[in-house]
Amino acid sequence: DAGVIQSPRHEVTEMGQEVTLRCKPISGHDYLFWYRQTMMRGLELLIYFNNNVPIDDSGMPEDRFSAKMPNASFSTLKIQPSEPRDSAVYFCASSLIWQGAQNYGYTFGSGTRLTVV
Amino acid sequence: AQSVTQPDIHITVSEGASLELRCNYSYGATPYLFWYVQSPGQGLQLLLKYFSGDTLVQGIKGFEAEFKRSQSSFNLRKPSVHWSDAAEYFCAVGQPNAGGTSYGKLTFGQGTILTVHP
Please state, for a pLDDT cut of 70, what percent of chain A lies above it. Answer: 92
In angstroms, what is the C-alpha Rg of chain A? 14
What's the pLDDT tens digit per position in A65-105?
Answer: 999 999 999 999 999 999 999 999 999 999 876 555 556 67
Half-sphere exposure of A53 (CA within 13 A, CB side): 4
Inter-residue contact A25 to A34 (CB < 8 Å): no
What's the pLDDT tens digit per position in A9-65?
Answer: 999 999 999 999 999 999 988 889 999 999 888 899 999 998 999 998 999 988 999
The alpha helices in A1-117, defined as continuous H runs, are none
- Cross-chain Cβ contact B104/A104 below 8 Å: no
CA distance B46 to B58: 12
State the average pLDDT over residues B94-100.
68
Interface probe, candidates B23, B33, B38, chain A, greatest A C-beta count within 10 A: B38
Nearest of B13, B28, B21, B50 to residue B109 by alpha carbon? B21
Instruction: Return the DSSP state at A19.
Output: E
CB-CB neighbors (< 8 A) of B4 in chain A: none
CA A18 to chain centre: 16
Q: Is the pLDDT of residue B104 over 70?
A: no
CA distance B63 to B116: 15
CA distance B28 to A2: 37
Nearest of B48, B39, B45, B47 to residue B86 by alpha carbon? B39
What's the pLDDT tens digit per position in B38-83?
Answer: 998 888 999 998 887 889 999 999 999 999 999 999 999 999 999 9
**What single letter denotes the amino acid at residue A86?**
D
Non-local (6+) Cβ contacts of A96 within 8 A are: A28, A29, A30, A31, A103, A104
Interface of B with A (CB under 8 A): 32, 34, 36, 41-46, 49, 51-52, 90, 94, 101-111
